Amino acid sequence: MDTETTTTTTPSGREAATRGLAIVGFIALVALGMWLAIYLSRYVPTAVGRLGSAATYVGSIFIPKASAPHLAVVPPATTTTPVLTAAATSTATTTPPKKRSSGVGYGVTPREPGQQSSTTQTIGAGTPAYYGLPDLAVTITAVGYMTSSSTDSFVAANTVPHNAIPAVKFTVKNVGTNVAGPWRFSASIPTATDYLYQSVVQQGLNPGDYIDYTLGFSQPLTGTDKTITITANYDHSITESTTNNNTATAQVTILGS
């Protein structure tokens, strides 16, 4: 009867060491992958957010053109203030008696003095007759910074401190002779991502009307003499008599850390 023989092979010392290193390497790779996952979830979104568009803060005040003054003629001894008053007074006269041939005279009873009458007529400026074309003119009135996200915190200065929000004040006025229909403006501001701000549609401006703006921005590009450029009607949505005054520029120094 044949006897079956079973042979057991025992790994050598080198093979055991190789297997041990492989197991340790696998565990190290798993640990590294877990660490990378935690790092990416915590820090990458913040880094990407810093590369996004700069935040802008815009405030504005609309100032209409002052109404034309009215003609005011104030007559004496009156309790009202009419713009224009015309007065007429009538006075009775006495007719001398006539003589009859018989020598008996007769007369006419004098009438009572007439009462003074007055009328009032207002002479106003009326509705202006617009003609020609509008003309939007841009003027930068100040550069500086904001101490908070509120544009009311604006401080005029040529140098922006560290961690402050750079800002600019400017005015857009219709110096033309017709209504400037809905329009927009753009602002080229010194940010780390070379950001160009484009406004929403702005209200129409009658001749003489203007709007004062305050615009602040985050993620500034630090340095000396950084340029801010404001352009009204940058997309040419309205026709103007001239566009030579549509752009204004200013420089500001922005301090870093």
Mean pLDDT of the 38-64 span: 63
Extended strands (E) in the chain: 56-63, 85-88, 98-99, 105-106, 117-120, 136-146, 154-156, 159-160, 165-174, 185-188, 196-198, 210-217, 223-232, 247-254
Mean pLDDT of the 152-162 span: 96
Per-residue confidence band for 228, with pLDDT thresholds at 50, 70 and 90: very high
Please report, for the chain, the start and end positions of each structural domain, with discontinuous segments joined by +: 15-51, 53-66+130-254
Q: What pLDDT is attached to residue 124?
A: 53
Taking the C-alpha atoms of residue 28 and residue 85, their distance in angstroms, rounded to an integer, is 102
Taking the C-alpha atoms of residue 203 and residue 238, their distance in angstroms, rounded to an integer, is 12
Is the pLDDT reported for residue 79 higher than 60?
A: no
CATH match of 53-66+130-254 with 3.10.20.30 = no
Instruction: Specify whether the CB–CB gap between 138 and 130 falls below 8 A.
Output: no
Tens of pLDDT, residue by residue over 193-218, are 878 999 999 999 999 999 999 999 99
Per-residue confidence band for 23, with pLDDT thresholds at 50, 70 and 90: confident
Per-residue confidence band for 109, with pLDDT thresholds at 50, 70 and 90: low
Query: Residue for token digits 């007769």?
Result: 106
The residues pairing with 160 across neighbouring beta strands, listed in sequence order, are 254
Per-residue confidence band for 232, with pLDDT thresholds at 50, 70 and 90: very high
User: Three-state SS for 166?
Assistant: strand
Percent of the chain with pLDDT over 70: 58
Q: What is the pTM of this model?
A: 0.60
Taking the C-alpha atoms of residue 253 and residue 187, their distance in angstroms, rounded to an integer, is 17
Q: What pLDDT is attached to residue 52?
A: 59
**Top-confidence residue, 236 or 21:** 236
Taking the C-alpha atoms of residue 210 and residue 138, their distance in angstroms, rounded to an integer, is 10
Mean pLDDT of the 156-170 span: 96
Mean pLDDT of the 137-157 span: 96
Is the pLDDT reported for residue 34 higher than 70?
A: no
Query: Residue for token digits 């604006």?
Result: 154
**Top-confidence residue, 250 or 123:** 250
Mean pLDDT of the 169-196 span: 94
Is the pLDDT reported for residue 39 higher than 90?
A: no
Average pLDDT, the chain: 76
Q: What pLDDT is attached to residue 80?
A: 42
Is the pLDDT reported for residue 132 higher than 60?
A: yes
Instruction: Specify whether the CB–CB gap between 165 and 145 falls below 8 A.
Output: yes
DSSP structure string for 69-103: PPP----SS-SS--SSEEEE------PPPEE-TTS
